Amino acid sequence: MQIPKKIHYFWYGNNIPEKFLRNMIEIQYANPGYEVNIWGDNNSKTLIMKTLRNIKFKHHNASFDIGEISVNFTYRNVESAFRYLSQQVDFLSTNQLSTLNCFRYFKRRKQENNNKRRYGDHVDLVNYLQHIYRINLKGNYHNYASSSDLARLVILYMEGGIYLDTDVELSDADIKNRLKRKGAIFDNLHLQSDIGIGDSSGLGWYSGVPYNEFGNAIIASLPQSKKILNMLLDMAIMIKKHHLSIQMYQSPKSDEICKIKKLNRYHEVDKRIDLAIKLKNAHQINLDMRCGIQDPIWRTGIDPNDDNDEFACKLRRIDYTVRMTGPDFIDDYLNPQQKIDFPDNYKLKSKNRGDRMFKDVDDAGEWANIKKKKYPDEDPFT
């Protein structure tokens, strides 16, 4: 399947570094006929244009300013994609038709009703993801990685196309070779399902090397991908389950709650949450069902029961992020049996065997470093 001719980026915070902007321009010019969308908030265009106006090119080892560069970027607000997703799940929930006498349908319906009671309906779950997206954009402990993890999936669900992190580079960026090509380089990419994950190692999916550098820097999909929709809903349930668990294990009734044992760890937590909800309704414990406060360890990297040097905090933030919203979550969802080789039907490949397409993507996680407060009394969360 051909991917829609749309390229998506996410940018938020400071002015975009020149290196990343060059990547975006390079990819745009290698793909004539593709629209390029830069997603963020209403200030995103300013963060791009300030760098664009100062960009310089080298010629015979001398730098020179060529003035205003003409790039056809479209600037869009991620909030519009969340609104679309919320409308879609509301429509699908109210118009989904059952198959009569279908055991699978009624079994799934029972599970959905149980999840609705514990974690909210589909609209609630989308709103919760939007809440997680927003709070990770703010304060000294902002986590743009988590916000962009969520944004890319929501954007792809609405639009389809290919999402790229700004540090993604083409393996062959030589303009001489590009001039020899006919058409857009991304026309060579094809989907084998409604979602495809690009290789982030620089080796290419055709290399035959078992994947050990799985990433979500390159994702393509069709619009309204069922796989992405279900992935987002499952992600919301997992994150909410995590935050409800923190509350119930810190409650005065934690010993009673922990007496519930199940062979399946996932079902065990569900049953414990059921008891916690009963205790809440009986006014025996406090339980914020909205889970408005994000796990402090995920947010800050600070664990009161462990070492909290700068490096340890950074690693915790990275670990929580990749598990909650990032590559590990996607890997677990698309490859639940954790096979050595990533499922072929979810690989975004070039039609030309041996075409690596992308360079190795940096995964050093510099975003996890905590910026310094400007003032001693500054609230780090706002």
CA distances from 249 to 128, 254, 324 (A): 21, 5, 19
- Residue that wins the pLDDT comparison between 62 and 80: 80
**Where residue 98 falls among pLDDT bands split at 50, 70, 90?**
very low
Whole-number Å distance between alpha carbons of 359 and 199: 9
Structure tokens at 17: 């570094």
Whole-number Å distance between alpha carbons of 248 and 290: 14
Helices within 74-221 (DSSP H only): 78-95, 103-119, 122-135, 144-159, 175-180
**What single letter denotes the amino acid at residue 174?**
D
Whole-number Å distance between alpha carbons of 206 and 356: 8
Q: What is the pLDDT of residue 60?
A: 47
Whole-number Å distance between alpha carbons of 351 and 209: 19
In eight-state DSSP terms, residue 2 is: B
**What single letter denotes the amino acid at residue 126?**
V
**Where residue 95 falls among pLDDT bands split at 50, 70, 90?**
confident
Backbone angles phi, psi at 100, to 5 degrees: -60, 140
User: With pLDDT > 90 as the criterion, what percentage of the chain qualifies?
Assistant: 65
| 3-class secondary-structure state, position 77 | strand
What does 34-76 look like in DSSP terms, one character per residue? -EEEEEESTTHHHHHHHHHHH-EEEETTEEEE--S----EEEE
Q: Are 168 and 8 spatial neighbours (Cβ–Cβ below 8 Å)?
A: no
Per-residue pLDDT for 177 more than 90? no
Residue identified by tokens 């409308």 is 87
How many other C-beta atoms lie within 10 A of the C-beta of residue 360?
Answer: 15
What does 306-352 look like in DSSP terms, one character per residue? S---HHHHHHHHHHHHHHHTSHHHHHHHH-TT--SSPPGGGB-EESS
Q: What is the pLDDT of residue 213?
A: 64
Q: What is the pLDDT of residue 219?
A: 98
Q: Are 220 and 191 spatial neighbours (Cβ–Cβ below 8 Å)?
A: yes
Per mean pLDDT, which of 39-48, 267-276, 332-341 is the most reliable? 267-276
User: Considering only CA atoms, which of 88, 89, 108, 90 is closest in space to residue 98?
Assistant: 108
Per-residue pLDDT for 105 more than 60? no
Whole-number Å distance between alpha carbons of 94 and 99: 15
Whole-number Å distance between alpha carbons of 65 and 53: 9
- Residue that wins the pLDDT comparison between 110 and 35: 35
Q: What is the pLDDT of residue 69?
A: 54
List domains and CATH numbers for the chain.
Answer: 6-103+142-223+325-368 (3.90.550)
Structure tokens at 59: 């010629």
Structure tokens at 41: 């908030």
User: Considering only CA atoms, which of 225, 206, 195, 222 is closest in space to residue 331?
Assistant: 195
Q: pTM for the full model? A: 0.90
Per-residue pLDDT for 373 more than 60? no
Q: What is the pLDDT of residue 243?
A: 98
Whole-number Å distance between alpha carbons of 150 and 81: 11
Q: Average pLDDT of the chain?
A: 87
| b/e code 193-214 from CB counts within 10 Å (16+ = b) | bbbbbbbbbeebbeeeeebeeb
CA distances from 85 to 39, 153, 184, 232 (A): 16, 10, 30, 10
Q: Are 365 and 146 spatial neighbours (Cβ–Cβ below 8 Å)?
A: no
Q: What is the pLDDT of residue 12?
A: 95
